[in-house]
């Protein structure tokens, strides 16, 4: 991997204050070099993307003589990574050619003029029909154009420690039907196994988007009274955003119910200590400490955890498949379809300020060849976004339980990743932190969320 050559750019990445980076590089740069920016985990043991891109770089430079990839990792937490990359893309002097974009911020970056539409490239790419419709959706902006090529998706559910459950007198085939079932199991663990954290739910500002997506929104999207998700079913009312009126919802009973669940977890000491829960690196602790060491009984988390436990993972755990059970997260009162999940994913996008769009697109084609797409999906513990990868025997057997998480895809919802979504997500994080720490009641936190929403978004009263 080549280091960032410009010390000036490296210094600029270390801070967020400067509104425009100047004096670093030159517009366009070397016409034969594609600058690739991606997030590097703050956990120094986690280098899956680095290793994958090093292999892609070698392949691309071999098959494109005279062309080069300049890999530019940004080591930062997810929220900070998005801010730093946006800062880079403001100027032709610092903009990358190719950037790995979280689908949650893609529309915001499109509105800011940072990304180039890819429809002209996709129209002639024979692999694009291989991509599943549900995977393409988050890469399509509000203007109807596609700005990224997804490289994987994910689903979320409940992980539970069967050994701890046995000690607490809970079943090894636990499949909760309602939120109450989840809370009751956590209460049983708390009562019978002192010192064990009963349940982890991402909460507060520290974990960032994890709080919004795989914490709060897993609750929120399970409150609907409509027919619900599932194969061939209408998704019902969206409790966060009304696409028909193009309005964000305030005054929502669903929002208050989800906040009340968060409040119950922390008021009854069913979760970790709030100081630990609000740690920006709590996801690392969940996957590499609390679950493998038996300190945590139940975690609302994603399909990717086993990648940490594999032989070459951040925390090898040979026994994980015998110890850990999986269950779908239930709807609030067991209403059909009885389960809920959220799906997200990352994409490869081309900077609007890149003068090498054609060459950058050739890099995307290399990154997302069938072989490389399979390699990345398996390396990173992803859910496949291509039908040929999903059907591959290597994918179908690469980790125990992948069929369980893949089967949640028909029930999965997507965040309304519109330009103001990052601000909506921040307001959600504020609300959950307020109730988790006891600094606000559910009613107060919901009111503060509504007021914040009105300050930056078009809103409609009386959500579901």
Pair 315, 272 in one domain: yes
For residues 230 and 180, the model is more confident at: 180
Could you tell me the pLDDT band of residue 79, with boundaries at 50, 70 and 90? confident
390 within a domain of the structure (yes/no): no
402 within a domain of the structure (yes/no): no
Asked if 453 and 459 count as a contact pair (C-beta separation under 8 A), the reply is yes
Print the domain residue range for 239: 156-343+415-460
- What average pLDDT does the segment 346-375 reach? 97
- What pLDDT is attached to residue 233? 40
- pLDDT at position 181 over 60: yes
391 within a domain of the structure (yes/no): no
Pair 355, 321 in one domain: no
C-alpha triplet 345, 348, 350: angle, nearest 5°: 140
389 within a domain of the structure (yes/no): no
Pair 232, 93 in one domain: no
Q: What is the pLDDT of residues 51-71, one digit of tens each?
A: 999 999 999 999 999 999 999
Q: What is the pLDDT of residues 425-438, one digit of tens each?
A: 999 999 999 999 99
408 within a domain of the structure (yes/no): no
Cis before residue 412, ω within 30 degrees of 0?
no
Pair 291, 321 in one domain: yes
Residues of the chain with pLDDT > 70: what percent? 90
- What pLDDT is attached to residue 238? 86
Q: What is the pLDDT of residues 108-162, one digit of tens each?
A: 899 999 999 999 999 999 999 999 888 898 899 988 999 999 999 999 999 999 9
Which of the given ranges, 79-83, 193-197, 244-248, has the highest pLDDT on average? 193-197
- What average pLDDT does the segment 17-30 reach? 47
- What average pLDDT does the segment 227-247 reach? 65
1 within a domain of the structure (yes/no): no
Pair 309, 178 in one domain: yes
- What average pLDDT does the segment 14-42 reach? 65
If one counts the domains in the chain, the total is 2
Pair 439, 296 in one domain: yes
Could you tell me the pLDDT band of residue 191, with boundaries at 50, 70 and 90? very high
Tokens of 239: 């409790």
Pair 162, 71 in one domain: no
- pLDDT at position 18 over 80: no
What's the 3-state SS for the chain?
CCCCCCHHHHHHHCCCCCCCCCCCCCCCCCCCEEEEEEEECCCCCCCHHHHHHHHHHHHHHHHCCCCEEEEEEEECCHHHHHHHHHHHHCCCCCCCCEEEEEHHHHHHHHHCCCECCCHHHHHCCCCHHHECHHHHHHHECCCCCECCEEEEECCEEEEEEHHHHHHHCCCCCCCCCCHHHHHHHHHHHHHHCCCCEEEECCCCCCCCHHHHHHHHHHHHCCCCCCCCCCCCCCCCCCCCEECCCCEEECCCHHHHHHHHHHHHHHHCCCCCCHHHHCCCCHHHHHHHHHCCCCCEEEEEEECCCHHHHCCCCCCCCCCHHHHEEEECECCCCCCCCCCEEECCCEEEEEECCCCCHHHHHHHHHHHCCHHHHHHHHHHCCCECCEHHHHCCHHHHCCCCCHHHHHCCHHHEECCCCCCCHHHHHHHHHHHHHHHHHCCCCHHHHHHHHHHHHHHHCCEECCCC
Q: How far apart are CA 455 and CA 429, in angstroms?
A: 16
List Cα–Cα distances, 160 to 106, 165, 305, in angstroms: 33, 8, 12
Pair 14, 161 in one domain: no
- What pLDDT is attached to residue 21? 36
403 within a domain of the structure (yes/no): no
405 within a domain of the structure (yes/no): no
pTM, two decimals, is: 0.78
- What pLDDT is attached to residue 370? 97
Whole-number average pLDDT of the chain: 89
Could you tell me the pLDDT band of residue 41, with boundaries at 50, 70 and 90? confident
Q: How far apart are CA 106 and CA 128, in angstroms?
A: 19
Pair 363, 442 in one domain: no
List Cα–Cα distances, 70 to 1, 6, 224, in angstroms: 8, 12, 47
- pLDDT at position 10 over 80: no
Last residue of a domain, one of 382, 399, 434: 382
- pLDDT at position 192 over 90: yes
* CB-based burial label for 252 (10 Å; 0-12, 13-18, 19+): buried
- pLDDT at position 439 over 70: yes
- What average pLDDT does the segment 334-354 reach? 94
Most distant CA pair in the chain, distance = 65
Last residue of a domain, one of 328, 357, 382: 382
Could you tell me the pLDDT band of residue 20, with boundaries at 50, 70 and 90? very low
The CATH number for 67's domain is 3.40.190.10
């Amino acid at each position: 991997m080549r280091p960032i050559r410009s010390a000036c750019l490296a210094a600029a990445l270390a801070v967020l204050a400067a509104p425009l980076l100047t004096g670093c590089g030159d517009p366009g740069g070397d016409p034969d070099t594609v600058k690739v920016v991606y997030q590097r985990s703050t956990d120094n043991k986690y280098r899956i993307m680095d290793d994958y891109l090093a292999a892609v770089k070698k392949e691309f430079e071999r098959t494109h003589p005279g062309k080069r990839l300049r890999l530019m990792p940004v080591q930062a937490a997810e929220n900070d990574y998005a801010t730093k990359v946006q800062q880079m893309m403001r100027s032709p002097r610092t903009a990358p050619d190719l950037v790995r974009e979280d689908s949650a911020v893609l529309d915001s970056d499109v509105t800011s003029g940072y990304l180039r539409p890819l429809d002209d490239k996709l129209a002639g790419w024979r692999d694009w029909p291989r991509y599943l419709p549900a995977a393409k959706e988050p890469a399509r902006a509000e203007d109807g154009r596609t700005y990224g090529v997804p490289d994987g998706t994910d689903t979320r559910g409940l992980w539970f420690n069967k050994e701890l459950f046995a000690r607490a007198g809970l079943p090894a085939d636990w499949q909760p039907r309602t939120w109450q079932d989840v809370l009751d199991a956590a209460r049983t663990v708390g009562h019978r196994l002192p010192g064990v954290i009963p349940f982890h739910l991402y909460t507060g500002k520290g974990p960032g988007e994890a709080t919004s997506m795989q914490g709060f929104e897993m609750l929120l999207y399970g409150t609907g009274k409509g027919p619900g998700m599932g194969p061939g079913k209408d998704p019902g009312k969206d409790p966060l955003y009304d696409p028909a009126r193009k309005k964000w919802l305030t005054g929502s009973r669903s929002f208050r119910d989800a906040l009340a669940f968060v409040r119950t977890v922390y008021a009854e000491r069913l979760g970790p200590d709030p100081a630990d829960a609000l740690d920006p690196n709590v996801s690392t602790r969940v996957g590499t400490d609390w679950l493998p060491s038996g300190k945590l009984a139940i975690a609302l988390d994603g399909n990717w955890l086993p990648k940490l436990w594999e032989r070459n993972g951040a925390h090898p755990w040979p026994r994980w498949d015998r110890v850990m059970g999986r269950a779908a997260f239930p709807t609030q009162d067991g209403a059909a379809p009885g389960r809920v999940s959220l799906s997200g994913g990352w994409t490869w996008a081309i900077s609007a300020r890149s003068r090498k769009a054609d060459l950058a697109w050739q890099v995307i084609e290399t990154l997302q060849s069938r072989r490389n797409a399979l390699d990345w999906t398996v390396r990173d513990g992803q859910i496949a976004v291509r039908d040929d990868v999903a059907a591959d025997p290597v994918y179908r057997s690469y980790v125990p339980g992948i069929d369980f998480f893949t089967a949640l895809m028909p029930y999965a919802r997507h965040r309304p990743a519109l330009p103001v979504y990052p601000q909506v997500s921040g307001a959600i994080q504020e609300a959950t932190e307020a109730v988790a720490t006891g600094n606000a009641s559910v009613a107060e936190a919901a009111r503060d969320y509504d007021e914040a929403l009105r300050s930056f978004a078009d809103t409609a009263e009386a959500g579901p």
